[in-house]
């Protein structure tokens, strides 16, 4: 028997093609898409405006299957974290952040991460694999469906939407899992699915320059760039991808992206690390660095984890740093730490990843080579496929 097609894995164009292969008209794909994504429905018999013959075909050939929930935790501030099973011993995390006027869902795009930023616990696990379209959009499908049912809110477009904003800031580097990420984005934006505004969907990247250019042409949404340093030497240490795409190339790509972006600025994320990147001199260096890029800064208090060897900047230092940026004319916010009591805050998402990159083995081997040949040996980032 042929494997069932998971309809969460099909973007709008692919669903039309799939329905066509079943002998159905394109409008049936739109009906089906509304049932799945607007109503959160997985039972084909409940899709009452579909012809009975189509429902029978669907039961024979398709399924609607989001990744299974392993655990569900809620922090004292209302932040909620789901650990979800993506198979082969891998689990990733999805975080919902409720606020008075919006609900933001933080979505993962990879099991693990190959970029290995110093301040991020996800990268310390290594990288296992990319998530599929269904595993990415399935996080939104699961969260919206769960939240509505718990509150007794009617499914469908007339019911009050619980998730108003989506940020791809969970586990992984979205632009290193490009095609599934863009397909999931198109579903989020489609009026027959979630109907989110491009301004309310944000992709965060550590600076994969070629894919930033491709995203601007394929599906330009709001862009956040993990900057975290004011010069190349410092960023090489904190964000190893900088060795491949240095700041001059990254900032040029940001300027190009702004020609297509739904917002008139790029958000630069900057993790505040005590004594590392948080001095007045660093702030002034940042002002010069971004002087010709329309941007805002989001300063992120570092969330410590044991193996980082880093400390969070103190609140007075963060405020002084922000003041220098604001006096220089840059809109600057300080991110409120949410969900840190359940390890759901920025940089804390670690899930449970079976490392296919043998990260520890590679790191130990690299240290041995550097001791023998010098500290500059191997200063090129490896990105597993």
Strands 331-334 and 295-301: parallel
The domains of the chain, with CATH numbers, are 5-63 (1.10.150.530), 70-373 (3.20.20.70)
pLDDT in tens, 85-133: 998 889 999 999 999 899 999 999 999 988 989 888 877 778 889 999 9
pLDDT given at position 366 = 44
Distance CA 164, CA 199 (A): 11
Could you give the residue numbers annotated as active site? 93, 346
pLDDT given at position 212 = 98
Given the structure tokens 């290193």, which residue do they identify? 176
Structure pTM? 0.87
Distance CA 318, CA 143 (A): 33
pLDDT given at position 354 = 60
Distance CA 185, CA 171 (A): 16
pLDDT given at position 147 = 95
Nearest to 185 by CA among 203, 171, 170, 173: 203
Question: E strands within 131-215?
Answer: 165-168, 201-205
pLDDT in tens, 152-192: 988 877 678 899 999 999 999 999 999 999 999 999 999 99
Q: Which stretches in the chain have pLDDT values below 50?
A: 342, 344-349, 359-367, 369-370, 375-385
| Encoded tokens for 24 | 């159905």
């Amino acid at each position: 028997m042929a494997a069932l097609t998971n309809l969460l894995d099909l973007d709008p164009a692919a669903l039309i093609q799939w329905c066509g292969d079943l002998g159905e008209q394109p409008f049936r794909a739109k009906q089906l898409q509304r049932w799945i994504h607007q109503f959160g429905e997985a039972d084909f018999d409940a899709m009452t405006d579909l012809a009975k013959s189509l429902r029978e075909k669907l039961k024979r050939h398709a399924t609607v299957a989001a990744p299974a929930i392993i655990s569900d935790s809620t922090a004292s501030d209302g932040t909620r974290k789901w650990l979800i099973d993506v198979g082969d011993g891998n689990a990733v995390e999805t975080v919902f952040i409720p606020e008075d006027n919006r609900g933001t869902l933080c979505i993962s795009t990879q099991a693990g991460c190959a970029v290995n930023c110093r301040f991020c616990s996800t990268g310390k696990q290594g990288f296992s694999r990319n998530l599929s379209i269904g595993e990415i959009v399935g996080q939104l499908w699961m969260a919206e469906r769960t939240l509505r049912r718990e509150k007794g809110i009617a499914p469908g477009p007339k019911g009050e939407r619980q998730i108003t904003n989506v940020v791809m800031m969970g586990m992984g580097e979205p632009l290193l899992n490009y095609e599934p990420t863009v397909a999931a984005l198109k579903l989020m934006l489609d009026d027959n699915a979630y109907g989110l505004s491009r301004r309310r969907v944000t992709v965060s990247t550590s600076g994969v320059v070629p894919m930033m250019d491709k995203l601007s042409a394929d599906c330009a949404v709001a862009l956040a760039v993990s900057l975290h340093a004011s010069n190349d030497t410092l960023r090489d240490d904190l964000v190893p991808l900088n060795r491949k795409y240095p700041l001059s190339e990254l900032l040029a790509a940001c300027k190009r992206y702004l020609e297509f972006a739904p917002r008139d600025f790029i958000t630069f994320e900057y993790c505040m690390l005590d004594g590392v990147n948080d001095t007045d001199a660093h702030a002034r260096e940042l002002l010069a660095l971004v002087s010709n890029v329309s941007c805002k800064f989001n300063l992120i208090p570092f969330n410590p984890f044991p193996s980082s060897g880093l400390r969070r900047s103190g609140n007075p230092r963060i405020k002084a740093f922000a003041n220098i940026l604001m006096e220089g004319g840059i809109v600057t916010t300080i991110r409120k730490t949410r969900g840190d009591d359940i390890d759901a805050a920025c940089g804390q998402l670690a899930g449970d990843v079976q490392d296919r990159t043998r990260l520890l083995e590679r790191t130990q081997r690299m240290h041995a080579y550097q001791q023998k040949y010098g500290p500059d040996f191997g200063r090129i980032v490896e990105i597993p496929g």
